[in-house]
Structure 1
Amino acid sequence: MGSVIEREHSATGSMALGQWAVIGMCMLFNMINGLDTLATAFVLSSLSAEWALNGFQQGILLSASLIGMASGSTFAAPMADRHGRRPLLLASLLLSGTTMLLSFWAQGPWSLALLRALTGIGVGATLVGANVLTYEHASLRRRGLAISLQSVAFALGVSLGGLLAHALNETVGWRYVFLAGGSFTLAAGLTGALWLRESFEFLAVKSLPAQQADHRPALSNVATNSPVPSLASQRLFGRGYRQHFSTRQWRETISLATAFFLVMFCFYFVVSWTPTLLVQTGASETHGIKGGMLLNTGGMLGALLLGLGANRYGSRQLLLGFLLLNAVLMTLMVPATQVLSLAIGMGFTLGLLLNGAIAGLYILAPQIYGTGERASGVGLVLGLGRLGSILSPVVAGVLLDAHWSSQALFTFYASSLLLAALAIAWGRGGTEERAGRSRN
């Protein structure tokens, strides 16, 4: 394991191979999450044809995993503060892998919807566990990059999962998409069971006797000079979420949860409607699909760029810049569709900025909370944010029924990014950034 001094040095210095191995495994988990999350979307046309699904049933199937993800982030992820990050990740992978396999034998839309919701619970908890474990294993200098790589991995999983799903769906049928996803998930869980190690920071806090808790900070906070909660506050699991709305951190919790909600609200509109908008303005369906792929490719680049720049420029400042620029570009998206190459380039840039903003939120979230409350805090913020992704297509549908134009829709959703920027500006930022400002 190494000495305490070595581990404290790794919080600010170069990262050892073991630290990168844990971060790499969390990236693997998130790649699998990308496939598991959108498995239904990949095969929806085949499902609809086989079961003669109406629009409502299709919507339920698409929303089931998102509802499960919100529940998993909010209610399952906090168990990591009580039992550890590693057990949560392994249990979540087991749940999502098993329910993906069982989806192979689903006999109708309602049984599949239930299984998709259970898969979503596992995915939601895994996303939080991977974020927190990455944060606690990465050095202070590399935390922004390490966490943004988790977003890159998720987007890469969506892209590769889409290619795999298309191949399986066209050859052996939609059921084998779930069979493959479940097999990959359980294999990733087995890899974690063999080689994934627990957070030293979590173990250090859990091993402290009560009388020492107020005098020995958690390892990662040694480098940040940020306040660390006492052991009593570290062990608040089961007492609700009141600690996240205490005098010390209510403002950060509300600002970050609001920003997550608004960004996810906009993200799912852009992902859903940009390819369709391209087709409606005269592009071929192939160009529309390529536009959607470029949106995702831009997203991976955006997350990576924000992670690389977070340490130099501050993740909060970059996040604000990404949000404001994205809001401006969204209002120009509809006029840009008059020129196909410009529209595709605009879609790529929107994906870059939106996914970069999401990566920035993932970087900020674990900074706000102490070790013993970090998983529940991040889970709460992510869970509330997922509500934005659930409401987004519903709101868009209502506005379309009210005969809103494409320009009005994009302007409306752009305003959510402006509100998200205001929420971030109103918050105080993460503990690491506050500590950095105090030292300057």
Structure 2
Amino acid sequence: MERNVLKEMNHHLMSRYQWFVIFLCICLNIIDGFDVMVMAFTASSVSAEWSLSGAQIGLLLSSGLFGMATGSILLAPYADKIGRRLLILICLAIAGLSMVACAVVQSHTLLAVLRFITGIGVGGILASSNVLSSEYASARWRSLAVSLMSTGYGIGATLGGILSLVLIEQFGWRSVFLAGGLTTLLMLLISLWYLPESLDYLLTRKPRQALQNINAIMGRIGLNPLEQLPRYEKAAQQSGSDVAKLFQGPLGIQTLCLWLAFFLVMFGFYFVMSWTPKILIAMGMSADQGVSTGILISIGGIFGAALIGLLASRIKIFYALNLFLGLTALSVFLFVAVSSQVSIALMVGLCLGTLINGCVAGLYSISPTIYDAGIRSRGVGYAIGFGRIGAILSPTVAGIFLDQGFAPATLYACYGIVFILAIFLILALGRAYDRHKKDQVSSLNTAI
């Protein structure tokens, strides 16, 4: 009887090597969080040097996000063709070199272009590392592994904020980009040496020396080696025609709700993460206090992703996500109201960071459960891509509103409503998902 390697790994106890691979993926996400959020922490210094308007700063903040969307959509399919590992290495090189180039740029236009290129690399890394961490986790720990991936983003953003406080004061804002670029290139060398290829890719594509590489990985995991490659194939190769499958029958409402929820949550998330330090400084906080609040929001993100993953092990992920969305909306409403009291604002900022990052991690955990294996990668990828549209628009829209004279309190209130709207979408998604599963079980019982 032919062995099913992936099924064996799904039901095998997680080995140290599997956790090590997931740790490497978290490190990749740390690099991504640093590279993406560094613009938010340097925005005030960049704006002061070049006398930029709110819309121009918004463009700088959005350009990296636009690059991430482009990288996720255009580069992700290549992970199935050339391998997760090779794509990650290429994208690390793109992100690292463009970050270094940002340190010597002499105009905000060229900086925006380089931020777009950095985003392309980051988008490719995110698309591949999330898949890799999921594929190396057993069925029992897969949701936690995906949630832990999101903690890396908060760690990277936190380190970016701390470095910004130190480096900007001593060497100027350019040094922050240089540090980020060199760190990314260091991660490239580490990944080149330690990061393995996906078992799923090796079994499906069967590249040269596939059996040798598979057995080496299986030995580290604790599984018996194969004598020959199994006749393992995906249920179907992903292609453009599969997009229509995302909207077939009862799956259509689930896909629509998931896409819109991603859009709204990313729209609110990137406003809070990108604009908070600058807005608080404009409202009267010192530069150090504004950046410190932004750092605390990022620190909260380290715990938020893990917290919702643990909560989801006890209650349905849909309920856990709605709880986080409601508390996030409340925190956004409170945040500006207490901004004049620095100590309270810092505490609320920490809670806000915990909750808002948990919302993003919750969506990442839900999305793979919606789709069958044959269309799962494309379904998740398009949902994330649609969410990136909200991420791209959010900082620029906020900049335009601020230029038009919108009060910060009013702006934060509007973004708080965004999270309330997302609650209704997740409620609808949960009901549609439950009905779909019941119909599938009913059909199976009838067939039996």
For the criterion TM > 0.5, the same-fold answer is yes
User: 2:434 and 2:194 mapped to 1: Cα distance?
Assistant: 29
Q: Which amino acid letter does the alignment assign opposite residue 39 of structure 1? A: V
1:223 aligns to what?
none
Structure 1 consecutive aligned stretches of length 4 or more whose deviation exceeds 6 Å: 230-233, 429-439
Q: Structure 1 residue 318: deviation in Å?
A: 0.6
Q: Which amino acid letter does the alignment assign opposite residue 327 of structure 2? A: L
Task: In structure 2, list runs of 5 or more residues that go unmatched.
Answer: 207-231, 442-448
User: 1:390 and 1:434 mapped to 2: Cα distance?
Assistant: 32
Deviation per CA, 1:117-164, whole angstroms, max 9, x where unpaired? 111011012112111111111122222221121111111111112223
Q: CA RMSD in A?
A: 3.3
Q: Which amino acid letter does the alignment assign opposite residue 29 of structure 2? A: N
Q: How does 1:409-420 map to 2 (within 5 A)?
A: 409-420=411-422
1:127 aligns to what?
126
Comparing 96-105 with 358-367, greater Cα deviation is found at 96-105
Deviation per CA, 1:61-98, whole angstroms, max 9, x where unpaired? 22211110111122221222333322322222122122
CA contact (8 A) 1:295 1:348 kept: yes
Comparing 49-58 with 290-299, greater Cα deviation is found at 49-58
User: 1:25 and 1:154 mapped to 2: Cα distance?
Assistant: 13
Q: Which amino acid letter does the alignment assign opposite residue 139 of structure 1? A: S
1:220 aligns to what?
none
CA contact (8 A) 1:100 1:179 kept: yes
User: 1:181 and 1:125 mapped to 2: Cα distance?
Assistant: 17
2:169 aligns to what?
170
From 295, 311, 314, the equivalent of 1:312 is: 314
Q: Which amino acid letter does the alignment assign opposite residue 37 of structure 2? A: L
**CA 1:201–1:433: 2 relative to 1, 3 Å:** farther
- Is 1:28–2:27 an aligned residue pair? yes
1:244 aligns to what?
246
User: 2:115 and 2:127 mapped to 1: Cα distance?
Assistant: 18
Q: Structure 1 residue 429: deviation in Å?
A: 8.2
Q: Structure 1 residue 31: deviation in Å?
A: 0.8
**CA 1:368–1:190: 2 relative to 1, 3 Å:** farther
**CA 1:408–1:173: 2 relative to 1, 3 Å:** closer
Q: Structure 1 residue 354: deviation in Å?
A: 0.8
2:224 aligns to what?
none
Q: How does 1:300-379 map to 2 (within 5 A)?
A: 300-337=302-339, 339-371=341-373, 373-379=375-381
CA contact (8 A) 1:256 1:381 kept: yes
Deviation per CA, 1:145-185, whole angstroms, max 9, x where unpaired? 21121111111111112223443333344444333322222
CA contact (8 A) 2:71 2:121 kept: yes
2:410 aligns to what?
408
- Is 1:75–2:54 an aligned residue pair? no
Deviation per CA, 1:233-284, whole angstroms, max 9, x where unpaired? 6313355733433447433332222111101111223334545665566655
1:191 aligns to what?
190
Q: How does 1:79-158 map to 2 (within 5 A)?
A: 79-158=78-157
**CA 1:4–1:251: 2 relative to 1, 3 Å:** farther
CA contact (8 A) 1:314 1:433 kept: no
CA contact (8 A) 1:12 1:140 kept: yes
Q: Structure 1 residue 339: deviation in Å?
A: 5.0
2:263 aligns to what?
261
Identity of aligned residues (%): 41
1:40 aligns to what?
39
- The alignment partner of 1:427 has SS state of helix
CA contact (8 A) 2:308 2:358 kept: yes
**CA 1:271–1:185: 2 relative to 1, 3 Å:** closer
Q: Structure 1 residue 331: deviation in Å?
A: 3.2
User: 2:174 and 2:277 mapped to 1: Cα distance?
Assistant: 26
CA contact (8 A) 1:278 1:337 kept: yes
User: 1:430 and 1:115 mapped to 2: Cα distance?
Assistant: 42
Q: Which amino acid letter does the alignment assign opposite residue 385 of structure 1? A: G
Task: In structure 1, list runs of 5 or more residues that go unmatched.
Answer: 208-229
**CA 1:262–1:372: 2 relative to 1, 3 Å:** same
CA contact (8 A) 1:274 1:347 kept: no
1:217 aligns to what?
none
Q: Which amino acid letter does the alignment assign opposite residue 343 of structure 1? A: A
2:397 aligns to what?
395
CA contact (8 A) 1:74 1:382 kept: no
User: 1:28 and 1:178 mapped to 2: Cα distance?
Assistant: 18
Deviation per CA, 1:393-424, whole angstroms, max 9, x where unpaired? 33334444555444433332222112212222
Deviation per CA, 1:290-332, whole angstroms, max 9, x where unpaired? 3222222222211111122222223222111111222234334
User: 1:26 and 1:343 mapped to 2: Cα distance?
Assistant: 33
Deviation per CA, 1:171-219, whole angstroms, max 9, x where unpaired? 3444443333222222222322222222223444446xxxxxxxxxxxx
TM-score (norm 1): 0.82
Q: Which amino acid letter does the alignment assign opposite residue 113 of structure 2? A: L
**CA 1:40–1:147: 2 relative to 1, 3 Å:** same
- The alignment partner of 2:314 has SS state of helix
User: 2:409 and 2:160 mapped to 1: Cα distance?
Assistant: 32
